[in-house]
Chains A and B, each alone.
Chain A
């Protein structure tokens, strides 16, 4: 079960601004775009969801903080007094269980409102009696982290509540002219009271009070500015919480790593099984059939030749049969050559630069090659990595040919800081994504098995860029 998005994260295909790889969409925006973003952000679904998260998270955080703190403090007190040690331990277990339950609720909130999917940590499943159960529960590292989250979350939640308040304050100030119009006649009858502007800053600094209807528009302006700022403040608070969520409510780094390895190992095993199956199919449908046809044709020709020394009844037919057999032999040879190149291209032994050059030269779409790899053999990636890199490049170039309609492609390979980077760009029609039948999911899987990553940027209309990063050692 894997809730986390895989490392291969395609840029949203519909975002026309995602021109450059690896940059979040917002940073790539130009100046008019930035202005538009500032003006429209308060109206985005994401901003509303984040505000709702800040608001809803507070009561849960308050309950969690109080309960967990009280339970743990009581438990520590009881254990210290020695008299109620067993009860104290039981309370501690209760606190941990409660923390986990609240953690589940908080994960659900984060998943629903923030789209932050944190995998639930596994529950310890001890075998044996009550003591073993108690020991396992007390040693439940994920439970203690969840408890820590409950304690840390409250201050964060206070800030989040404050951030959510910006929205309310902004809205309240914004409608001041309306309030004036509705309420002032009532108030004004009893005395020329002014209408308050609520400042989002603590202490109410710099909040002018409206003494007239015209003044209320100044307040409304302050409200509008507050509203424009509010989404960024909630986002900031939420960002901090995201980090806490994955650090304290997730399965833990080691458990996550184990899970990841299990998954990629399964992928690797499936991948090699699929490879063998494909190989068998290719042999069965290709070389084997041709060899049968070849031998059969030769036998037919032999029959036509008749007994040794005798006259040949139909030399033309014999010639025809031998020619067919010869053609079949030629095709068997080329099929076997293709097959063996598909298993391991011999040119790869000469190093990745040569192999990539051969690939680029063989492509029917013109490929501009730019390779910056160390010449020194000691810095070469391991053969397995080179093989993966080669086949990824081959697959990506095949995709360019088959799907992009591009007239030009660039294949770039460079190596730095223990990473091998491979990048294929084309000027085609774009729209490539992991689920569009391009073989990209297969590539992403293969790359993941060695802790590599694959990124796609392919807005509709192009250009498409796919970048693969691999470690130097598998």
Chain B
């Protein structure tokens, strides 16, 4: 596993310090740990990290400062992935975050940091330009929309696979979660691409398109 350069933005000092400790102990470099969105923007501009961990609610208004900063960072520093986290999942926030694409972004419930291994894995995925969406985000986004006819043609199993893809998981990880072989997952994925009418170009790109179709974002 490659060591990541990370900037943390979280206004609660107790959590900020623990996150920094945890990531440092795992061999990553925490360039800066800050407590508000302006400091976050400055730190990202200065350090150009691989990824940032950003609390959505931060001073001064405690509403969506972190999300605003995240969107700006994705636009201005495409090389920096952004993992947002908050204590509640807001569908509106997820849609705004995903509006500019799902590459290099993540949105997790704060509870997920209590499983440090999974959290670090999600962070690694985002740093590498992937996606990490909380299962809760996926459920809310998918549940809140009218399913297109394409999606209705998917089998239950295929939909499960697609939901896991939406969380940003690789085929191998999906196979592990569903307790099936990697080959089966590949078959499902191919079926999904076919049913959604996605042309066979680069695999990763089709993957993102499928997920976006699924989320309706």
Which A residues fall within an 8 A CB radius of B?
Answer: 281, 284-285, 288-290, 292-293, 295-300, 303, 324, 328
CB nearest neighbor in A for B85: A292
Q: Which residue numbers of B lie inside 8 Å of A, CB to CB? A: 11-12, 14-15, 18-19, 21-22, 25, 57, 62, 87, 110-111, 113-117
Given A284-B57, A284-B87, CB of A300 within 8 Å of CB of B15: no
Q: Are A293 and B14 in contact (CB under 8 A)?
A: yes
B62 and A281 form a contact (CB under 8 A): yes
User: What separation, in Å, do the CA atoms of A328 and B87 have in the docked complex?
Assistant: 18
Check if B114 sits within 8 Å of A289, measured CB to CB: no
- For A300, give its contact among B12, B22, B110, B111 (CB under 8 Å): B22
| B113 in contact with A289 (CB, 8 Å) | no
In the complex, are the beta carbons of B18 and A299 less than 8 A apart? Answer: no
A303 touching B117, Cβ below 8 Å:
yes
A290 to chain B, nearest CB (A): 6
B116 partner residues in chain A, CB cutoff 8 A = 296, 299-300, 303
Residues of B within 8 A of A328 (CB): 14
Q: Are A299 and B57 in contact (CB under 8 A)?
A: no
Known A-B contacts A281-B62, A284-B57, A300-B116; the reply to A293 vs B22 at CB < 8 A is no
Question: With contacts A281-B62, A289-B14, A328-B14 known, is A295 near B87, CB below 8 A?
Answer: no
Contact across chains for B117 and A292 when beta carbons are under 8 A apart: no
CA A298 – CA B22 in complex, angstroms?
12
A residues near B110, Cβ cutoff 8 Å: 288, 292
Q: Identify which of A281, A289, A298 contacts B15 (C-beta below 8 A).
A: A289
Q: What's the Cα separation between A297 and B116 when bound, in Å?
A: 9
Query: Which residue of A290, A299, A303, A328 has the most chain B CB atoms within 10 A of its CB atom?
Result: A299
Q: Please indicate the chain B residues that have their CB under 8 angstroms from the CB of A285 in the complex.
A: 11-12
Cross-chain contact A292 with B57 (CB below 8 angstroms) = no
- Given the complex of chains A and B, what is the CA–CA distance between A175 and B68 in angstroms? 77
Residue contact B62 to A292, C-beta cutoff 8 Å: no
The answer to whether A292 and B22 touch across the interface, beta carbons within 8 angstroms, is no
Q: Within the assembled complex, what's the spacing in Å between the Cα atoms of A293 and B87?
A: 13
Interface centre among A281, A296, A298, A299 (most CB of B within 10 A): A296
Give the distance to chain B from A92, nearest Cβ to Cβ, in Å. Answer: 58
Query: Across the interface, which residues of A come within 8 angstroms of B115, CB to CB?
Result: 299
Cα(A74)–Cα(B11), bound, Å: 78
B138 → A minimal CB distance (Å): 21
Contacts A281-B62, A328-B14 given; does A296 touch B57 at CB 8 Å: no
Q: Which residues from chain B contact A324 at a C-beta distance below 8 Å?
A: 18
Q: Which residues of A contact B117 (CB under 8 A)?
A: 299, 303
CB pair B18–A296 under 8 Å, yes or no, is yes
CB distance A295 to B114 under 8 Å?
A: yes
A300 and B20 alpha carbons, distance in the complex (Å): 12
Question: Which residues of B are found within 8 Å of A296, using beta-carbon distances?
Answer: 15, 18-19, 22, 113-114, 116
Q: How far is the CA of A300 from the CA of B15 in the complex (A)?
A: 13
A297 pairs with B18, CB closer than 8 A: yes
Distance in angstroms between the alpha carbons of A293 and B57 in the assembled complex: 17
Q: A285–B59 Cα gap in the complex (Å)?
A: 11
8 shortest A-B CB distances, which residue pairs?
A: A295-B114, A289-B12, A293-B14, A296-B114, A299-B116, A293-B15, A293-B18, A296-B113
CA A295 – CA B117 in complex, angstroms?
A: 13
> Knowing A289-B14, A293-B18 touch, does A299 contact B114 (C-beta < 8 A)?
yes
Query: For the complex, what is the distance from the CA of A298 to the CA of B114, rounded to whole Å?
Result: 8
| Best-surrounded residue of A281, A292, A328 (most CB of chain B within 10 A) | A292
A-B contact pairs, 17 of them (CB 8 A): A284-B57, A285-B12, A292-B87, A292-B111, A296-B22, A296-B113, A296-B114, A296-B116, A297-B18, A299-B114, A299-B116, A299-B117, A300-B18, A300-B22, A300-B25, A303-B117, A324-B18
Which of chain B's residues has its CB closest to A299's CB?
Answer: B116
Tell me which residues across on chain B come within 8 A of A290, comparing CB atoms.
14
Question: Once the chains are docked, how many angstroms separate the CA of A284 from the CA of B87?
Answer: 8
In the bound complex, CA of A284 to CA of B11 (Å): 11
| Assembly CA distance A328 to B14 (angstroms) | 9
Q: How far is the CA of A295 from the CA of B109 in the complex (A)?
A: 14
A293 to B20, CA, bound (A): 12
Q: Which residue of B lies closest to A281 (CB)?
A: B62
Measured in the bound complex, the distance between the Cα atoms of B114 and A299 in whole Å is 6
- Distance A285 CA – B15 CA, assembled complex (angstroms): 11
A300: chain B residues at CB < 8 Å are 18, 21-22, 25, 116
CA separation between A290 and B114, bound complex, in Å?
A: 11
Residues of B within 8 A of A298 (CB): 114
With both chains docked as a complex, state the minimum distance between the C-beta of B112 and any C-beta of chain A, in angstroms: 9
CA–CA, A328 and B13, complex, Å: 12
